[in-house]
Structure 1
Amino acid sequence: MDIFIKAVQLILSLSILVILHEFGHFFFARLFKIRVEKFYLFFDPWFSLFKFKKGETEYGVGWLPLGGYVKISGMIDESMDKEAMAQPAQPWEFRSKPAWQRLLVMVGGVVVNFITALFIFWMILFKWGESYIPVETAKYGLYYHEIGHEIGLQDGDIVLKVDDFDVESSSDIARLILIEKGKILTVKRGEEIISVSIPESYDQTFLRNEVKDFAGIRTPVVVAEVVKNSNASEAGLLIGDSIVSINDKSTAFFNEFTEEMQNQKSNDIDLGIYRNGQPMTIHAQVTENGTLGFDASGATGYAEIKMHKYGLWEAFPIGVKMGFDTLINYIKQMRLIFTKEGAKQVGGFGAMGKLFPANWSWLIFWSNTALISVILAFMNILPIPALDGGHVLFLLYEIVTGRKPGDKFMEYAQVTGMILLLGLLLFANGNDIFKLFSK
C-alpha cells in the first residue's frame, strides 16, 4: 500500500508537469499559427490508451509513461517524419516561421515549468506559511549522523555557522556543506565555542553513506498520544510518559529511541519510563516495522518554533525567491553528479518516488512537485540534441550566423541526442534496480 500511494503521487505530479510543459510549446505554436498535429501525455508507439481530435490536433494519452510530446508540423523531432520534411515547406509549418518565433516555441515548455514552480511556491507560502526551529533555541542541542561524529561533532552540539554562513535551521548545515563547499563549522558545545574542520572530499562521504538527515533537533521521548488498540496501548503507555531506555540501554532522546527500535523489530522489550516523576519499567511488543503505536510530543516545549504566515501578495516575492534559490542550489549541486560517488546516486523513477511519503500530504506533494518542476525546466534547457535546449542551441546559431543547420545534420543530431537520453535513462533506472537488489 505504501508503494501504491507513493506511485500515485509521482504519476500525478509528473502528469501535471508534463501536460503544462507541452502546453508551453503548444501555446506559442498556436500563437504563431503553427499547426500542432498531436498533443500527448505519455508516448504512444503503435497505439494509444485514449485519443480524440479537435480541430487540427489529436489529443491523447499514450501507454508508455516516459513523458509526453506535441508533434509540431514541419519540425524534426522524436517522430523523425522524414517524408513530411521532404515536401515543400508550408506557411503553417514550424520551419517556415522566423527564427525568433521558433525560439519561443522551443523555450515555451521550460518557461511554463519554471513559472509553475514559482506559482506553487507562492501558493504553498500563502496556504501553509513557513515554519522552522532556530538551532540556537534547541534546549538539548542537535543530534548528528555518524559521519558527523567522525569529524568531531557530538550529539548536543549546536552548529552556529558553516564558514561565514549563519545556520538558521538544522537542515541548513548539510546544504551549506554540500552546496557552498563549507570547510569550517563554528560549534557551540555547552558554554564553549569551538571550530570543527570539514575534511576534503567530505561531500563524497555524504553521498557514499546516502545521508538523508545530517542533523536534527534533539528532543526527549514524551508520549503525546497513544493509538487505540496498538502495542503501546496494550503495554500500558500513557500520555505524558517519558521513555528513557530500552532493555536498560539509554534512549533518552527520540533519535536514539527510533534507532534502537529498528534493532528490536518484532521483539519483546522492557521500556524504562518516568511517569509523574517516578521511574518504572513496562513490557511491550515491537511491531515488525519497529514501532509501538504512539506519537511523541516533538519539539514543543524543547525549542522555539518560528512560524510565518503570509497574505496572498505578501507571499508572492518570497515564493519567487524560493523558486530561484531552488534553481540555483540545484545547479550548484550538479557538480556532484560528475564525481565517483555522485554518479552512483543518479536515480530514475524509483529515486523520484522516494521523494514522496507513504502517507498523503498535500504540503509535501506540492513542495515536491515544485522541486521536480524546477528540475525539469533545468534539464530540458541543457544543450543536448533531442531536448529543448538542443533545439535552442541550433536556433541561436541560426540567429547569430544567419544560416540554418541542414536537415540531415538535424536528423543526425536528433538521433544522437535520443541515443544519449536513452542511455542516461537506462543508467539512472539501472542504478535504482541495482540499489533495490543490493539491499
Structure 2
Amino acid sequence: MDVLVKILQFLLSLSILVMLHEMGHFFMAKLFKVRVEKFFIFFNPWFSIFRFKKGETEYGMGWLPLGGYVKISGMIDESMDLEQMKEPPKPYEFRSKPAWQRLLIMIGGVLVNFLLAFFIYIMVLYTWGEEYLPAENVKYGVVCDSIMLDAGVRNGDIVLSFDNKKVERFSDIMLHLLLDEPKTMQVLRDERVVSLEIPPTLVKKILAYSSNGFDQKALLAPRYKYNGEIVAFAQDAPARNAGMLATDTIIEVDGRGFTYYDEFQSLVMNHRDSVMNVRVLRGQDTLTLYLDMGDSKLMGIQPRIIADFEFAVKKYSFLESVPAGINMGVDKVKSYLKQFKLFENAEAFKSLGGFVSIGNVFPSVWDWHAFWDLTAFLSLILGVMNLLPIPALDGGHVVFLLYEVITRRKPNEKFMENAQIAGMFFLIFLLLFANINDILKLIGIY
C-alpha cells in the first residue's frame, strides 16, 4: 500500500506539471495564431489512453509518462515531421512568425513551470505556514554515521556553524556541506565550542554513500532520548517470543543502561551471543528476560522515542505569503543550480535517479502539504532542465532563436534537424542511464 500511495502521488504530480507545461506552449502558440496540431499529456507510441479532435487540434493522453508534447505546425520538434518542412511556409506556421514570437512560444512552458512553483509556495505558506527545526534546538546533539564520525563529528555534538557562519536550519546542514565547500565546522561539544577541519574528501564520500540504494541511514540525524517504552512488536519478534509485554519498560541490555535511542540501538546491534539478557520494568517489578536472537540483530520492537524539540513556526497572511513564496522559489532554484557543480565528481553520476528516485521522495501516506511542496520543487526542476541548451529541449530551441535574433538569419534547417536528432539521442541516453541507476540500487549493486 505504501508503494501504491507513492506511485499515485507521483503520477498526479507529473500529470499536473506536464499538462501545465504544455499549456504554456499551447497558449503562446494560440496567442500568435500558430496552428497546434496535437496536444498530448504523456507520450503515445502505438496507442493512446484517449484522444479526440476539437477544431484544428487533436487532444489526448498517452500511456508513457516521460513527458508530454504539443505538435506545432512548421516546427522541427520531437515528431521530426520533415515532410511538412519541405513544403512552402504557411502563414499559420511557427516558422512564418517573427523570431520574438517564436521565442515566447518556446519559453511558454518553462515560464508556466516557474510561475506555478511560485504560486504553490505562496499558497503553501498561506495555508500551512512554515515549520522547521533550528539547528541550535537539536538539544541532544546529532547521531552520526561512520562517514561523519571519520570527519571528526561525534554523537551528541550540536552543529553551530560552518566557517563561523551560523546554520539556521538543521535540514540545511548537509546542503551546506555539499554545496558551499566550507573548510571548518563549529560544534558544541561538552559545553565548549570545537572547530573541526572538514576533510577535502568528505563530499566524495557523501555522494558515494547517497548512491547506495534507497533506504540509506541518514548521515547526520537529530539525537533522541529513549526511556525504554514500547509501542508495538513486529511479527515473530524475539522480544515478544521471550515474554516481553507492550507495557514493559526496557531498562538494561546485557547489563548496560542507555539514555539515547542510538545508545540502545548500539547495545542491540553489537550483541554477540545468541541469547540477549534484557532487564525490564513491569509495574513495580524488575524482571530479566532472555531473548533468543538467533541470526537477528533486532529485538523486533517499535520504540516510543522522545522527540521533545522546539520547532520554529512562521505563519503568513496572504500578503506576506506572496514575497515569502517567491523568495522560497528563488532560493530553491539557486540551491538546485549549485548542485550541478557536484558533477565534477564522478560519484555524483551514480546519484542520478529516474522515476523510482523521483517517486520515492513522496511520503508513503497521503499528505497534501508534502505533495504540494514536492510538486512545486519538481516544477522548478522541470523548468530549469528544459532551459538547458540541449537540442530537443526548449532551451535548445531558445539558443537557435537567440542566434537568429542576434545575427538576423535563421540557422540552417539541415543543421537543426541533425541537432534535434542528436539531442533526442542524448536525452534518451540520459533517461536510460538514470533509470538503470535506479535498477542497480534496487538490486543492491550500488
Indicate the RMSD between aligned Cα atoms, in angstroms: 2.9
How far apart, CA to CA, are the structure 2 residues paired with 1:270 and 1:20?
60
Query: Relative to structure 2, which stretch is displaced further, 326-335 or 245-254?
Result: 245-254
Does the aligned pair in 1 maintain the 2:126–2:316 contact within 8 Å? yes
Paired residue for 2:318, among 295, 312, 321? 312
Residue 275 to residue 105, structure 1, CA distance change in 2 (3 Å) = farther
Residue 141 to residue 277, structure 1, CA distance change in 2 (3 Å) = farther
* Aligned residue runs from structure 1 range 9-158, under 5 A: 9-158=9-158
How far apart, CA to CA, are the structure 2 residues paired with 1:58 and 1:50?
11
Question: 1:294, CA displacement in angstroms?
Answer: 4.7
Paired residue for 1:324, among 322, 325, 330? 330
Aligned residues: 432
Letter in 2 for 1:399: V
Residue 285 to residue 107, structure 1, CA distance change in 2 (3 Å) = farther
How far apart, CA to CA, are the structure 2 residues paired with 1:292 and 1:197?
39
Match of 2:246 in 1: 237
Match of 1:190 in 2: 190
Look up the SS of the partner of 1:188 in the other structure.
Answer: strand
Look up the SS of the partner of 1:194 in the other structure.
Answer: strand
Aligned sequence identity (%): 48
Residue 262 to residue 362, structure 1, CA distance change in 2 (3 Å) = farther
How far apart, CA to CA, are the structure 2 residues paired with 1:285 and 1:38?
66
Match of 2:209 in 1: 209
Match of 2:213 in 1: none
Q: Deviations over 1:303-330 (max 9, x none)?
A: 3222222222222211111111111111
Residue 323 to residue 223, structure 1, CA distance change in 2 (3 Å) = farther
Question: 1:424, CA displacement in angstroms?
Answer: 0.8
Does the aligned pair in 2 maintain the 1:285–1:292 contact within 8 Å? no
TM-score, reference length from structure 2? 0.88
Residue 268 to residue 196, structure 1, CA distance change in 2 (3 Å) = same
Letter in 2 for 1:116: L
Letter in 2 for 1:299: A
Question: 1:18, CA displacement in angstroms?
Answer: 0.7
* Aligned residue runs from structure 1 range 392-411, under 5 A: 392-411=398-417
**1:299 and 2:307 are equivalent in the alignment:** yes
Does the aligned pair in 2 maintain the 1:246–1:272 contact within 8 Å? yes
How far apart, CA to CA, are the structure 1 residues paired with 2:257 and 2:347?
35
Match of 1:412 in 2: 418
Match of 2:378 in 1: 372
How far apart, CA to CA, are the structure 1 residues paired with 2:366 and 2:380?
22
Paired residue for 1:336, among 336, 342, 354? 342
Does the aligned pair in 2 maintain the 1:170–1:215 contact within 8 Å? no
Query: Relative to structure 2, which stretch is displaced further, 158-167 or 16-25?
Result: 158-167
Paired residue for 1:220, among 210, 218, 225? 225
Question: 1:133, CA displacement in angstroms?
Answer: 2.5
Question: 1:51, CA displacement in angstroms?
Answer: 0.7
Give 5+ residue unaligned stretches, structure 1: none
Letter in 2 for 1:400: I
Question: 1:24, CA displacement in angstroms?
Answer: 0.8
TM-score, reference length from structure 1? 0.89
Does the aligned pair in 2 maintain the 1:134–1:305 contact within 8 Å? yes
Question: 1:295, CA displacement in angstroms?
Answer: 6.3
Residue 111 to residue 188, structure 1, CA distance change in 2 (3 Å) = same
Letter in 1 for 2:180: E
Q: Deviations over 1:15-43 (max 9, x none)?
A: 11111111111111111111111111111
Question: 1:275, CA displacement in angstroms?
Answer: 7.3
**1:431 and 2:432 are equivalent in the alignment:** no
